[in-house]
Amino acid sequence: MATTNKIAIDIEEVTSMTCDSCKKIFENPIEIQEFQCILKTAGYGSIFGDGAAVHCDLCQYCLRDMLGPFLKVVRHSHRA
């Protein structure tokens, strides 16, 4: 026979995101899930410095405005 107890687990939830470019604060979950969060560790010889953490959070609008001409967007058709 198993004996059980209930335990409380704290879960962190993202409630807002601030774009590092436009500084706008987004609280809508749909907008938050469209953020592009870049976290990269710079390598040997990097212009950022060996081992440096490079971090940037961009809203979908700034991503489009900054990188639009370079992005390859493939739209998938939704089939039932």
Q: What's residue 78's pLDDT? A: 73
Q: What's residue 76's pLDDT? A: 85
Going from N- to C-terminal start, the domains of the chain cover: 17-68
3-state secondary structure of 18: strand
pTM for the model stands at 0.76
The amino acid at 33: Q
pLDDT tens digit string along 66-78?
999 999 999 887 7
Percent of the chain with pLDDT over 90: 90
Q: Which residues pair with 58 in a beta bridge?
A: 36
The amino acid at 48: F
Q: What's residue 77's pLDDT? A: 79
Residue 2 CA, chain-centre distance (Å), reads 41
Q: Low-confidence residues of the chain, pLDDT below 50? A: none
Asked if 50 contacts 44 with a C-beta cutoff of 8 angstroms, the reply is yes
Asked if 49 contacts 6 with a C-beta cutoff of 8 angstroms, the reply is no
